[in-house]
Structure 1
């Protein structure tokens, strides 16, 4: 008697949805309006606002520390098991 082996390969289906210009779209009239308002305020407000003092030196190190942390996390090995296609075919 032969035992059936289960196919362990991952299966998924892709369904294409038509893009429309209704409320379900990513770009709506509201988002365009907000972006226009922000860009106009960035152009108009700086000449009228007083200049700000420079930030403290320790605060300037924050972006550098964040970049070092992100590089460390990007190149550190993962603890997750490998999901190679070869390992799925051999089992």
Structure 2
């Protein structure tokens, strides 16, 4: 049989371990087609309760608060040495 003795490094992203595969593209296209085709055939849904509509707003406020709050991690700044 054939034994692969090639030890040269292969560039990442161009091999079979690529993140975007034909299967993932096919799944995304299938889901996109479903989103286009199904809504006219499905019955309309009742509106969600008002408390559920507040959830994205509360999440956004929480994320902004976390982004602007100071970190508890120690600073890694090192003073430059002046000769």
Provide the TM-score with structure 2 as the length reference: 0.79
Quick one: which of 59, 67, 72 aligns to 2:60?
67
Structure number with the bigger relative contact order (C-alpha 8 A, sep ≥ 6) is 1
Q: Specify which of 10, 14, 35 is matched with residue 20 of structure 1.
A: 14
Stretches of structure 2 that go unaligned for 5 or more consecutive residues are 1-8
Q: How many residues align?
A: 72
In structure 2, the partner of 1:37 is 30
Moved >6 Å (runs of 4+): none
Equivalent-residue separation in structure 1 for 2:80 and 2:40 (angstroms): 65
Report the TM-score, using the length of structure 1 for normalisation.
0.72
RMSD: 1.8
